[in-house]
Chain A
Amino acid sequence: MTYMDVPDKKVTVKEAYDDLLRRSLSKIRGDMARLIYLASTRDYNTGKYQHDGLAARFQAEIAGQALEMAHREIFHRLAACSLQELVGEVEIYVSSSRQSREEILEVWQKLEPYRVALPVDVNVAAAQLFVSNVKLALAILCLRQQLEAMETSAS
């Protein structure tokens, strides 16, 4: 095998990343839902990302790196977005879920599952800002829900 036959690893990870965006992530509505999806592809015990379809088209290691890359990118986007935009993202996630809106808002406030959705070794301040903003977004959505309920009962 000559050096020309050795695939460029970075190009391959980029290809896998583009494939992931095209086939999976573009079909998911909203960055918050994408973040939760990508975090769910990570093994709790090993911290490694797994995606059978992507691993079949590329290699398991390359697929893992592409998933991690996408996870970090979406996290950074959400961490730096405005609070108003984040409220919109959480709203999209809640409204596109099968569970009832009230149930999700209540469970998310109690269990704070979004804390598990952080990529590993991200900047501490960025992680804290994200968690804090999601907490605020949930409080705002709960407030809106209460106001809507009051308006409905009044009319």
Chain B
Amino acid sequence: MIGSASLVAGAVLLLLLLAVVTKGWLAARQLQDVAPASREEDAMEPCAQEVVSRIFSRADWEFVRGLKAGRIERLFEQERKRVALVWVRQTSATIRKVMREHAQAARQSANLNFSTEINIFAQFLTLMAVCGTLSIAIQITGPVWLGGLAHYAQRLSQQVTKLQESFHAGSLAKAEGTGRG
């Protein structure tokens, strides 16, 4: 009896999870139509920390809730969700671009540092996982409760970008040194 009840509960949970993932996937597809990925990757400016804080701001939500207007609350939830998903897609696209550039530079590099490569790749995988989690969590709860995770993703993205930049600068310096020698 207990066994069949837990089986049913498990199946319901699985169905719920599938529904959430499908919803997230559909929303991401809709978003792709609105904002092409190339535009996000080619963004000239990095996203400022204050903008990330604002997208995931709880203070804005409290201000809207204080208005006691259901229509405005719904509009706010819908709008912030959309903007937060744009930011997640932008972060993910930027980091994929950085990794592509890094892979290209690494292929041409003669002396790779194994631990640096593992470190960059591990951070890249973590960031991709965080972005995926954020996309689904934004769909379920909205961005207001996810500020901590978003800031973590932002920091990780900056770290990977810096590591790639220092790798690139190091490769250039070595190539110049070899050229002169």
Interface residue ranges, A against B (CB under 8 Å): 76, 79-84, 121-126, 128-129, 132-133, 135-136, 139-140, 143
Contact = CB atoms under 8 A, between A and B. Distances in A.
Given A129-B55, A132-B83, A124 B48 contact: no
B13 interface: no
Given A79-B54, A132-B83, A143-B69, A84 B63 contact: yes
Interface string B65-84: 00101011001100110110
A135 to B, nearest CB: 7
Contacts, number: 81
B83 A80 contact: no
Interface of B: 35, 39-40, 43-48, 50-55, 57, 59-60, 63-64, 67, 69, 71-72, 75-76, 79-80, 82-83, 86-87, 90
Contact of A82 (B46, B59, B69): B59
A124 B39 contact: yes
Given A124-B40, A129-B54, A139 B90 contact: no
Nearest to B42: A121
Contacts of B71: 139, 143
Contacts of A124: 35, 39-40, 43, 86, 90
Name, among A82, A121, A126, A135, the residue most crowded by chain B CB atoms within 10 Å (CB to CB): A126
A39 B87 CA distance: 25
B55 A125 contact: yes
A136 B47 contact: no
Nearest to A126: B51
B48 to A, nearest CB: 7
